[in-house]
Amino acid sequence: MVGFLLTNSLENNPYLQLDYLAILPTEQSKGYGSQALRLLQEQASVYDGIFIEMEKVGLGKNEKENAIRKKRAKFYEQVGCIELDFDLELYWVVYSALLLPTSQAEISSEKIKEAIFQIYTAIMGEKNVKKRCFVLEKEKKNETKSNRRNC
């Protein structure tokens, strides 16, 4: 085993959520992560896309963490992920919202938000989602509004 990934989905939900992807440190930069996402993309062709949350670049606690986040962002960009026009605050951590397309379906931020919050609600419960999960709308690329709203 060189790594693993964890996904979440709901019946009749058009998006698959990639909850976690990990490759052993000794096996990183050998193409395993890219290969895993390509295989997942093929297997998830019944979905409109794979939704991914990535800890926001530049908001790490130190330079080392920010460098890791920057490397992760570059990886997701290279495998074909699209950065969406909103961020998320989940349990006091800000995430960039990404989509790895699996079909030719039109990308609709509102549809994606609705679908992902259905998954969050199934996992965390409605009360926790309302208290700890927020959409952060972007005004311009990579600028997040200071206001936040529940989805």
pLDDT digits (tens, 9 = 90+) for 20-38: 999 999 999 999 999 999 9
Look up residue 1 and give its two tokens: 């085993």
pLDDT score recorded for residue 104? 87
Look at residue 105 in the predicted model and tell me its pLDDT.
Answer: 85
State whether residue 81 is helix, strand or coil: coil
With 0-12 / 13-18 / 19 or more C-beta atoms within 10 angstroms meaning exposed / middle / buried, residue 51 is buried
- Please indicate, yes or no, whether the overall pTM of this predicted structure exceeds 0.95: no
DSSP 93-104: EEEEEEEEE-SS
The kind and range of the H/E element at 3 are strand 3-8
**What are 61-108's pLDDT values in tens digits?**
999 999 999 999 999 999 999 999 999 999 999 999 999 999 888 889
CATH of domain 3-144: 3.40.630
